[in-house]
Structure 1
């Protein structure tokens, strides 16, 4: 059992390479796509691609039948932004079929052909005739998303920030505290711009934890979605540190917080264009918008305490997120408040076993440090930079940003935590 570990349960699986390849791909914009396939071997990966979170905005429909079916279909239907065509036809027949299809296609529609002939001459002729790309079967889900991205995502556009969603397996497990401290660690350790968005409009604690009282925040954005752009969002941010800004929740009960499933989607998209790292503090609720937020984040961190109800809830969350995010690594787990004196607890090993994931961190129960930080509106690193818990938080920041420095410090951190756990159980 290690204190910090990368998720490894997908390694060695048939889909591991697909999952790894998908991590570098950017979200596809809101476009319409129709595919016409001749084989299940091509239709399957395209359908899988359509369920991926990076394709959440795109509308994809798969038809069986290849180019002849497409010709018949578009005689009476408008063409979409992108047409995916599979063809097993020989090069001459393929070019003739595409010529017939062109008579019914809107000039603005892009066309990608998935063929079964590895022919450089054919590829050049297809490109000259206006085909956007020619891909040789067999194809993977990552191939499909990559091709679509190469056509519709501007390579010169600003990079999209990484969204990391933190959620508690149960109320009171410290998910918000962990989220805020990890965000602060990212900004201070790596000098990278980090934005924290507190999505708990009624009871959010980010403003208290960062000792902020902004006049505006996320409420203005979510209740006026038509106004959201980078300039407006920047006006709503409170500066917490040199590289850390906060989209604070009002933490009042003036309005009922019943939102549509996509209520935060535009805010998150805009925030990702404004900062390289976006930390989403998601409250412990299960609604359409919280489900969508977790499903579309680049990484999900579940915070839990080592108790049975937490284990059940974590298992439910892990299972659901694996269904919602089939092409992403499983969520990461932080075990918090471990080693409470005289409290019966589930060991980290026993907690992790039914989940199939290793805890990213085990944080011991330290009420004095956490309490002083909370009451003073300060981060743990500001209260005691040399605390072993601060070292763990820093290591979590390394994991979530992919820094390799983590590996050299893993063993020492593990020993200190296990010693604390042993003392707490006496």
Structure 2
């Protein structure tokens, strides 16, 4: 049975009445709905009565009413069209879709449970066709899916345009000169302590907090895990850049660096173990300087077993994060690594974190023992959350994106705030007798030289 109008003028004059559409905010949903039951569903799942409301304006009318409007409001995210008032739904919606901008999703609502009609409507560019009566949640789920598809299409269009600009040499992207550059080197005192997880998480959180691009470089060209963790393809570009830093320009950066989400960028390799890399002194610093033309914040995931790469990473870093663990070997190697950092990068700000790769309750060493051995306070302990790590790996995204409420994320938030603070503000609120390495008092100073 066809739906009846909820609010309509009597007689044929109803078909002639053109509703006035107010000015709507960008991203609004415009709904043309005939019956009160479907209108109530739209209000409860999309409109003001929804737990997650979208700006929506509802018109009492269907497809014919929508066709009578000569100028639709600009910036619409979606149209909901009731087709119960037309016998030529496919042709009418084809005409309607052709007048809408490509970023607007059109969803149809009708009474006929007809697969042929469904396919014909999709062929016109309609995102989905929903059959009345609408089950709870169906409308919002379909709308969210349609909006997500449009977002992906827009991102793909932007990416293609960007590639075309790169090809013509017209794209020039530069870092904000008003933001002090930061190079954060993250290194593990031992293998398997979670240094790569910390590096990826910090890069992800800082990029989201600052709303600007952050680049993470995986300097372990043979066994690095950054690209694998982010579900990105490793390439030879990093090796080529380290061997010939003079080749690195804006075009090289745009073509080699891969993007994960809106602001997180990454570059890494997966070279065969039979292809060792010998780099000249200062090469990494030259390379980082090239990347700083585009990225104000760069995270270096530094391999534990490569002292040459470590020294070059420390020398060009403004901040160094040492991730240790609560074992006897971890304490020993942490002490040695901190001494190495003091000699290589005396001006860098150093943070020490106890790793979260194992349950600290089962660790043979306590935080107090570690602090006594390294002669400084630990700046924090990365929480142990095996579930979050597994979820992030399975999804191919950083832990903060996969599990934003994970204890791992919470345990890194203070460090992220420290990186967000301007350099001039560092140490301004430190009490007498406390270290000046950080603005929050939780962060201790640089390791003392021997």
TM-score under structure 2 length normalisation: 0.51
Return the alpha-carbon distance in structure 1 between the equivalents of residues 418 and 286 of structure 2: 27
Residue 266 (structure 2) pairs with residue 272 (structure 1): no
Contact preservation (8 Å) 2:187, 2:321: yes
CA distance in 2, matches of 1:286, 1:224: 20
How do 1:21-420 residues align onto structure 2 when only pairs under 5 Å count? 161-213=181-233, 215-253=235-273, 255-329=275-349, 331-337=350-356, 340=359, 343-402=362-421
Deviation of 1:221 after TM superposition, in Å, equals 1.3
C-alpha change, 1:369 and 1:399, in structure 2 (3 Å) is: same
* Number of residue-to-residue matches in the alignment: 253
Note the residue ranges of structure 1 that are not aligned, 5 or more in a row. Answer: 1-155, 408-413, 415-426
8 Å Cα contact 2:207-2:263 kept in structure 1? yes
How far 1:251 sits from its partner (Å)? Answer: 4.5
Partners of 1:161 and 1:274 within 8 A in 2: no
Q: Contact conserved, 1:206 with 1:249, CA < 8 A, in 2?
A: no
Is 314-323 or 395-404 further displaced after alignment? 395-404
In the alignment, is the contact (CA less than 8 A) between 1:238 and 1:248 conserved in 2? no
Distance 1:398 1:159, change over 3 A: closer
Counterpart Cα distance in 1 of 2:410 and 2:279:
38
Q: CA deviation at 1:226?
A: 3.2
What CA distance in whole angstroms lies between the structure 2 residues aligned with 1:201 and 1:392?
29
Indicate how the Cα distance of structure 1 residues 384 and 335 shifts in structure 2: closer, same or farther if over 3 A, else same.
same
CA-CA distance at 1:366 after TM superposition: 1.9
Larger radius of gyration: 2
Contact 1:212 1:238 in 2 (8 A): yes
1:92-147 CA-partner distances (Å, limit 9, x unpaired): xxxxxxxxxxxxxxxxxxxxxxxxxxxxxxxxxxxxxxxxxxxxxxxxxxxxxxxx
Distance 1:269 1:339 in 2: 36
Q: Aligned partners of 1:378 and 1:292: how far apart in 2?
A: 28
Distance 1:321 1:342 in 2: 29
| Contact 1:214 1:238 survives alignment (8 Å) | no
The structural deviation recorded for 1:268 is 1.0
Contact 2:383–2:411 (Cα < 8 Å) also in 1:
no
Question: Which whole-Å CA distance do the structure 2 matches of 1:339 and 1:285 have between them?
Answer: 21
**251 and 174 in structure 1: CA distance in 2 versus 1, 3 angstrom threshold:** farther
Distance (Å, rounded) in 1 between the aligned partners of 2:209 and 2:177: 27
Shift of 1:294: 0.9
Aligned to 2:113: none
CA contact (8 A) 1:210 1:378 kept: yes
Q: CA deviation at 1:372?
A: 2.2
Q: Is the 8 A contact 1:207 1:213 kept in 2?
A: yes
Instruction: Rate the CA distance shift 1:257–1:344 in 2: closer, same or farther, 3 A.
Output: same
Kept in 2: contact 1:261–1:287 (CA 8 A): no
Closer, same or farther in 2 for the Cα pair 1:170/1:358, shift >3 Å? same
Q: 1:261 to 1:334 in 2, by over 3 A?
A: same
Preserved CA contact (<8 Å) 2:258 2:266 = yes
Contact 1:337–1:363 (CA<8 Å) still a contact in 2?
yes
The answer on whether the counterparts of 2:182 and 2:297 sit within 8 Å (CA) in structure 1 is yes
CA gap of 1:278–1:316, structure 2 versus 1, over 3 A, is: same
TM-score (norm 1): 0.54
Alpha carbons 2:385, 2:406 under 8 Å: kept: no
Q: Deviations over 1:39-87 (max 9, x none)?
A: xxxxxxxxxxxxxxxxxxxxxxxxxxxxxxxxxxxxxxxxxxxxxxxxx
Deviation at 1:215, TM superposition (A): 4.8
Between the aligned partners of 1:211 and 1:245, the Cα distance in structure 2 is 12
